[in-house]
Each structure stands twice: as C-alpha cells, then as structure tokens.
Amino acid sequence: MKIAANSKLVMIGDSITDCDRARPIGEGRDDALGTGYVSLVDALLKTACTEPAKVSVPTANIRIINMGISGNTVRDLQARWQTDVLDLQPDWLSIMIGINDVWRQFDSPLQRERQVSLEEYGRSLTHLVATTRPHLQGLVLMTPYFIEPNPNDPMRAMMDSYGQVVREIAFANDAVFVDTQAAFDRVLADVHPMSLAWDRVHPNLTGHMILARAFLEGVGFTW
C-alpha cells in the first residue's frame, strides 16, 4: 500500500468524482464524500483496517476529502486549484479530469469557448501537476473514459488521446497512473455499456466500483 497511515488524500475532478458530495468541503457527515467511487474507496480502506487481523496494515486513518465539481474541465480546476487543493495541504492527491473537456466537443460543437483542445488540456494539466507534485508525498492521475467498447467511435477515440496525455504526464512526474478506460474495457468484454451507465459517462454503482477498484489497485491496496 503506497499511501501511508494518517495521510490526507484529496480527490478532485468532475461529476464522476463529485456525486453530490458535501459543500464547500467534501468531508464530515456520513454522506459527505458523495455516492460514487470516492466513498467506495473510503469504505474499502476503512473496512480493511478495522479487521482485527489487519490492524497493523498501513491503510488506517487515511483522511479522504472529495473536491469534485460537476461539469468541470481542466480550466475549472485551474481556477480553483489554490483553494481546493493547495490550501488543503494534502499528502496525496488524486486527479481525474478530461471527460467534459472532450464531451463539450460533441454535445456543444458550436460553442467553441466551452471546449478544451488536446493541446490546452495537456498544457494545463502539466502545469498543475508540475507545480503541485513537489509538495506531495504521492500523486494519482486517473484517465478520463468513455464507456464504449468500440475504439473507433469518435468520442471514444478522442477520449483515448486525452488519456494518453495523462499517461505521459504521470510517468514524467513519478505519479501513479490509473487507466480507467482499460478497467471499463475489461468489463465491457462481457456486458453492455448501458448496464454500467445510461449515457456511457455517468456510471451506476457497478461502474463506480470499477473505478474504485482501479484506484485501489493503482495504490497497491488488495483485499
């Protein structure tokens, strides 16, 4: 397990991370972490470290804060980075962003001001990571995804190119790389996309468990 006991983990992103988390800080009451993969990660870690036989495992007392906001692109993360990341002084940071950067190019093709090009995406994410990484014990970069098994689908193909940028940034900055698209693809070999997400983007509980499992495997947690 890469994340040490008593660490503070901030998880930031868009609606997939948000999932109705508490405001202004996603921490506190029982539903403060929302209803998605962030809460599942928290629950699995807490379950493991409360088992009598595993009381010494380094998953104990990991403090998770959800700072996802629905509709966000990497531009939005830049605008709130100081208050929603740096001011929280995390030990570990997890970033999953890019779905809306791509989606706006398909659902709002004429509203170019809402779209984030691949070049801008890479430049912005690189800047955020490079300026923040020295202050962290660890960083997790999760790819955006599209729950579509056909790699030639236009939106899936574009999402893959944004995911490749995430891969390159992760390896250049000694970050844990989590390929969420690959995690979904393994399941899509046996099930239809709509059994995981009605719009192929916002997952149901099964889809969020796929994300949680991919994250936990990335940081070396096993159960």
202 is catalytic: yes
Q: 78: how many CB neighbours lie within 10 A of its CB?
A: 13
Residue 63 is inside which H or E element, if any? strand 63-66
Span 56-72, average pLDDT: 84
Q: In the predicted model, what is the mean pLDDT of residues 34-53? A: 83
Domain limits for position 54: 8-218
Please indicate, yes or no, if residue 223 is contained in any of the structural domains: no
85 contacts 132 by C-beta, under 8 angstroms: yes
Q: Which of 20, 91, 160, 202 is catalytic?
A: 202
> Pick the catalytic residue: 31, 107, 174, 199?
199
In the predicted model, is pLDDT for residue 51 greater than 90? no
Active-site residue identified among 15, 39, 94, 124: 15
For the residues 172-193, what does the mean pLDDT come to? 97
pTM: 0.94
pLDDT of 111 > 80? The answer is yes
CATH code of the domain in which 97 resides: 3.40.50.1110
Helix runs in 50-153, H state only: 74-84, 99-107, 118-132
In this structure, what DSSP letter does residue 28 have? S
- Pure H helices in the chain: 15-18, 37-49, 74-84, 99-107, 118-132, 154-172, 180-188, 205-218
Kindly state whether residue 120 falls inside one of the protein's structural domains. Answer: yes
